[in-house]
Amino acid sequence: MKKLLATMLLIGVLVLSACSNDASLYDEIQEEGVLTVATSGTLIAASYYNDEDALTGFDVEVAREVGKRLGLDVKFEIMSVDGMLPAVETGRVDMAANDLTATKKRKENYTFSDPYKYSYSTMVVRKSDFSGVFALEDLEGKINGGGDTTVSSEIARHFGAEVKTYGNASNEAYLRDVSIGRTDVVVNDYFLIKFGVAAFPDFDIMMHPDLKFHPTEQSLVMKKGETELEEAVNSVLAEMREDGTLTEIAETFYDEDASQKPAEDIEVIEGLDI
């Protein structure tokens, strides 16, 4: 009888263990009731601290609304952009929200939600001399300020620029360096540049008036293979697009509807391996 009882207990433990191992990330998130999201807190107007020292921004508020509609509390983990994808991969966070662009190479290793923002790349240059950049080919030999693993830095490298990295620095650090000539350009997203430049009117910087290139789609990033979480997030994003919430959040932070594809003619960069 004791042997039979012991055997039954062992079977019960094995069954519970198997069920636990089969649980998806989304099951675990639902059980805990918390969605953990990586973001930088330094990226005007996507993820930053406002005058009341509250974390906000387009990507932050999109993530908050996704969590709310899934019935989850959202906890943000502040980190550099270079640390976000590794944090998703290791499970330190459940997803990342920081104006992250879906690329062919990234999609091999991570799951990207349906896009919630459409944009393109341009660059910050000095007002006084355009930083000597009048075409993308002029980036050769120039110094670009940016994160080491960002798409923007890869574009700069593609055209022969050196990349100066900053960690999780503020917009001010990047833009001041262009202004004083420590660097030459900051290749980045149109919307981020638009508001970053506007925040520092005394700097000798401007958004390049002529160069528009590399159309992009920004998404929430999740661990590869977490289908349930992906489907739940995409369902909510579709609702937000349908009921106008994405448009409302975009216009709040960008004064434009960044949730729609831009109408401009954007140059596609050939041979960009990202």
**Residue 11 has what pLDDT?**
47
The one-digit pLDDT tens for each residue of the chain (274 residues) are: 544 444 444 445 444 444 445 789 999 999 999 999 999 999 999 999 999 999 999 999 999 999 999 999 999 999 999 999 999 999 999 999 999 999 899 999 999 999 999 999 999 999 999 999 999 999 999 999 998 989 999 999 999 999 999 888 888 999 999 999 999 999 999 999 998 999 999 999 999 999 999 999 999 999 999 999 999 999 999 999 999 999 999 999 999 999 999 888 899 999 988 8
Q: Compute φ and ψ for 57, nearest 5 degrees.
A: 125, 165
CA distance 190 to 207: 8
The two beta strands, 143-145 and 162-164, are parallel
Domains of the chain: 7-116+219-254 (3.40.190.10), 119-215 (3.40.190.10)
CA distance 242 to 238: 6
CA distance 1 to 6: 9
Token pair of 200 as six digits: 């520092």
Helix ranges (DSSP H) in the chain: 2-22, 25-32, 58-69, 81-90, 104-109, 151-158, 171-180, 190-198, 227-242, 245-254
Are 96 and 85 in contact, with CB atoms under 8 Å apart? yes
**Residue 169 has what pLDDT?**
86
**Residue 170 has what pLDDT?**
87
Write out pLDDT tens, residues 42-92. Answer: 999 999 999 999 999 999 999 999 999 999 999 999 999 999 999 999 999
